[in-house]
Amino acid sequence: MEKIVNFIKKTFNTNDFIPLHEPRFIGNEKKYLNDCIDSTFVSSVGKYVDQFEKEFASKVGSKFAIATVNGTAALHISLILADVKKDDEVITQPLTFIATCNAISYIGAKPIFVDVDLDTMGLSPDSLKNFLEINCEIINNQCINKTTKKVIKACVPMHTFGHSCRIDEIRDICDKWNIALVEDAAESLGSYYNEKHTGTFGKVGAFSFNGNKIITSGGGGVIVTDDETLAKKAKHLTTTAKVPHPFEYVHDEIGFNYRMPNLNAALLVAQLEQLDKFVENKKELALKYDDFFKTIDDIDFINQPQNSSSNYWLQAVVLKDVKTRDEFLEFTNKNGMMTRPIWKLMNELEMFENCQSSDLKNAKYLEERVVNIPSSVIL
């Protein structure tokens, strides 16, 4: 393991502590922030919010983008746009960050967990198809869970660490079963599947700009869609459902104070200018890691899946078992290199332990073996 630590410190050209992923501000960030401050429009109204939404939509190939305060808020609203309501059910993967299940729970809906693929670490279309065929039926154009008698309204796959799941197959299955596809693309800005950007395959998609993401505004998120009606609804809901008026405060439904501040958007406009360079840099780091770990027994580097172009947001390796994983985590963190395990499975958390699940053997295998290693853009 000492060989691994020495290689990574040499790669990052430092003997200091190496974080897992730190942001890089090497462009127009300070310039745009100062301009935003000078304008005095630092809250949710300002030119940078509009500019960012326009440029982001163009970047990922969607018709509309609606900026939010964080990725969880973006996913929450995306599920509302998909008509998910209290007591509905939403299929997702157990191997994901808690925000995926939190957003489902905010509505009062309940997650159902199906397995992931070993190569993508994302929701498996085979597991999804098998679950639906065994447990569900179509009644009045709705997907009904034969066990709970509830409507399965949406499916939320997540592109793990920026590696795309087999999203086209998932979309086709969802279409067949009248289930809305809502993409959790929080980690996959700059990633493509069959040359189409992640987050743009479903009815709506949600991205995150948390402090550790490939580009960041400290927080921040965005909803993307090609549906103009949904885009207008998203902007309305995220702006406290306020009816436009020169001076009166009239709100026509329960809304949310989810609009991204102009100050954050200024930072993101500058960060978006650097995205292509960041992705290229991360791909170069992935090549170095891949070459190196081929020389290490019992550790496999996770490469981008077939038909994908990944942003390699977080670089990851698979160890041979949970014991080796824990030894790896302890040694690296004690020797100045931050590493972390993949998430605990959602169905193993107290809040979701009673949720319906398929066989989750792949998710469990990965939970016990996957570790993230330093992934920052190297200056």
- CA-wise closest residue to 39 among 270, 261, 218: 261
Asked if the structure places residue 252 within a domain, the reply is yes
Domain that holds residue 135: 29-274
- Residue that finishes a domain, picked among 241, 274, 307: 274
Hey, how many other C-beta atoms are within 10 angstroms of the C-beta on 258? 23
Hey, how many other C-beta atoms are within 10 angstroms of the C-beta on 171? 19
DSSP conformational letter for 213 = S
Q: Are residues 148 and 54 both part of a single domain?
A: yes
Q: Are residues 215 and 140 both part of a single domain?
A: yes
DSSP letter string, 88-99: -EEEE-SSS-HH
Three-state secondary-structure class, residue 363: helix
pLDDT for position 366: 98
Asked if the structure places residue 186 within a domain, the reply is yes
Residue 297 has pLDDT above 90, yes or no: yes
Are 206 and 74 contacting, i.e. CB atoms less than 8 angstroms apart? yes
- Residue that finishes a domain, picked among 229, 245, 274: 274
Asked if the structure places residue 42 within a domain, the reply is yes
Lateral strand order in the sheet of 152-156: 64-68, 221-225, 204-208, 180-184, 152-156, 89-92, 110-113
pTM of the entire structure? 0.96
Asked if the structure places residue 379 within a domain, the reply is no
Are 84 and 153 contacting, i.e. CB atoms less than 8 angstroms apart? yes
pLDDT for position 94: 98
Q: Are residues 248 and 296 both part of a single domain?
A: no
**Summary mean pLDDT of the chain:** 97
Determine the straight-line distance between the first and last CA of the chain, rounded to whole angstroms.
25
Q: What angle do CA 365, 366, 372 make, to 5 degrees?
A: 155
Return d(Cα 167, Cα 161) in angstroms, integer.
15
CATH number of the CATH domain containing 306: 3.90.1150.10
Q: Are residues 10 and 61 both part of a single domain?
A: no
Asked if the structure places residue 301 within a domain, the reply is yes
Q: Are residues 17 and 77 both part of a single domain?
A: no
Q: In the numeric block, which tokens belong to residue 18?
A: 């190496």
Listed in sequence order, the DSSP H helices in the chain are: 2-11, 29-39, 47-60, 71-81, 98-106, 125-135, 167-176, 228-238, 262-273, 275-293, 322-334, 361-367
Domain count, the chain: 2
Return d(Cα 264, Cα 67) in angstroms, integer.
10
pLDDT in tens, 247-265: 999 999 999 999 999 999 9
Are 267 and 32 contacting, i.e. CB atoms less than 8 angstroms apart? yes
CATH number of the CATH domain containing 217: 3.40.640.10
Q: Are residues 171 and 263 both part of a single domain?
A: yes
Q: Are residues 18 and 141 both part of a single domain?
A: no
Residue 95 has pLDDT above 90, yes or no: yes
Return d(Cα 194, Cα 199) in angstroms, integer.
13
- CA-wise closest residue to 49 among 266, 236, 275, 272: 266
Return d(Cα 59, Cα 139) in angstroms, integer.
39
Asked if the structure places residue 351 within a domain, the reply is no
Listed in sequence order, the DSSP H helices in 107-157 are: 125-135
pLDDT in tens, 149-191: 999 999 999 999 999 999 999 999 999 999 999 999 999 999 9
Q: Are residues 16 and 57 both part of a single domain?
A: no
Q: Are residues 181 and 120 both part of a single domain?
A: yes
In this prediction, residue 340 has a pLDDT band, given cuts at 50, 70 and 90, of very high
What percentage of the chain reaches a pLDDT higher than 70? 100
Q: Are residues 205 and 146 both part of a single domain?
A: yes
Asked if the structure places residue 182 within a domain, the reply is yes
DSSP conformational letter for 66 = E
Q: Using CB atoms within 10 Å of the CB of residue 125, give its burial: 0 to 12 exposed, 13 to 18 middle, 19+ buried.
A: buried
- Residue that finishes a domain, picked among 238, 256, 274: 274
Return d(Cα 258, Cα 237) in angstroms, integer.
8
Asked if the structure places residue 99 within a domain, the reply is yes
Q: Based on C-alpha coordinates, what's the Rg of the chain?
A: 21
Q: Are residues 287 and 256 both part of a single domain?
A: no
Residue 44 has pLDDT above 90, yes or no: no
Q: Are residues 173 and 284 both part of a single domain?
A: no
Q: In the numeric block, which tokens belong to residue 367?
A: 């939970």
Q: Which position has the token pair 């109204």? A: 45
